[in-house]
Structure 1
C-alpha cells in the first residue's frame, strides 16, 4: 500500500444505493468528521451492460444522460436516507464513468480512507463481501474500511 500523497486529505465513500452503502456513507461521515476531512461520495455508471463493444454508436449513445441522471439520483437518495436535511459539512458528490472497482481504486490514490459497504445491491446474498469491496481491499492505495453494521450511538460499529 502506498502512502497517500500530499493534498489527499479526504475520505472517499462508494455509494450504490444499497443498504450497505448507506451504512458506509454514515460511517464515512463519522470518520471524516472525526478527522476534520472532506467527504467525497462517489457513484459509478457504465454502458457495458447495454452494448457489446461492436454495437456502441459512434459519437456516444443516447442513454448516457439517463444513466448519469440515475447515478446522481442514487447518490442523492442515499444521502437523504443517511442524513435527512442535516448533510455533513464538507460533503461532495461525484458521478464517474467506469467499472466501480477500478474507479474507486483510482480515487484511493488521493484519499486518506476509502469506505465501502460489505456488498452492493446486485450481488449474491450469501457472499460475505462483494466483488467491488474485495477488489478495493486488494488493490487500494489507502486504508479501506468495509462496513457491515449500522452506526451505534453516532459511533462506527465495533468489529
Structure 2
C-alpha cells in the first residue's frame, strides 16, 4: 500500500508519448488513492552557450513550460484532474526526480529504451529512478500503434 497522506503522485514529463501516457496512468492512480497529482518537467541552461548566442525570446525554462503545457493538454484534453499541479524545476531529470521522490507517494515515469532491445530496456532516467527512488516507481511505456 502506498502512503498518500498529502504525498503526491509525481510524474516526470519530458514530452514523449511515454511520458504523456505516464501522466494519464498516474492520474488514474491518484484518483484511486485520492492523492494529489504533480507533473514535473526539468530544464537546464546549456553549458556551452556563449552569451552572444542566447536569445531573450527563447529560454530553456520557457521551452520546458511549453513542453509541459502541451503534454498536460494532450493527456487531459484541457481538463486536468482536481488536486493537479504542473511545475518546471531546473536541473538534470534524474537528479530532480530522485530528489522529489523523497516527498512522493509514488513516482511515475515513461520508459524510453533505445536500440534493438527497445521493448526490453528502460531509458537511463527511468532505470535510475527504479534503482534509487525513495518511493515506489511505475514505469509506463507509450501505447503501441494499432496494427493494420
Q: Does 1:37 align with 2:35?
A: yes
Q: Which residue of 1 aligns with 2:114?
A: 124
Note the 1:21-32 alignment, pairs <5 A: 21-32=19-30
Structure 1 residues 34-54: Cα deviation after superposition (integer angstroms, max 9, x where no partner)? 00011010000112xx324xx
Number of residue pairs the alignment of both structures matches: 137
Q: Does 1:112 align with 2:110?
A: no
Q: Which residue of 2 aligns with 1:17?
A: 15
In structure 1, runs of 5+ residues without a counterpart are 151-159
Distance 1:34 1:70 in 2: 32
Q: Does 1:51 align with 2:47?
A: yes
Q: Does 1:69 align with 2:62?
A: yes
RMSD (Å), alpha carbons: 2.5
Distance 1:85 1:148 in 2: 22
Distance 1:70 1:100 in 2: 15
The ranges of structure 1 where at least 4 consecutive aligned residues each deviate by more than 2 angstroms after the TM superposition are 61-65, 123-128
* Structure 2 counterpart of 1:137, from 130, 139, 147: 130
Q: TM-score, normalised by structure 1?
A: 0.77
CA shift for structure 1 position 7? 6.0
Other structure's SS at 1:114 match: strand
User: Which gives a bigger RCO, structure 1 or 2 (Cα 8 Å, sep 6+)?
Assistant: 1
In structure 2, runs of 5+ residues without a counterpart are 144-148
CA shift for structure 1 position 85? 2.2
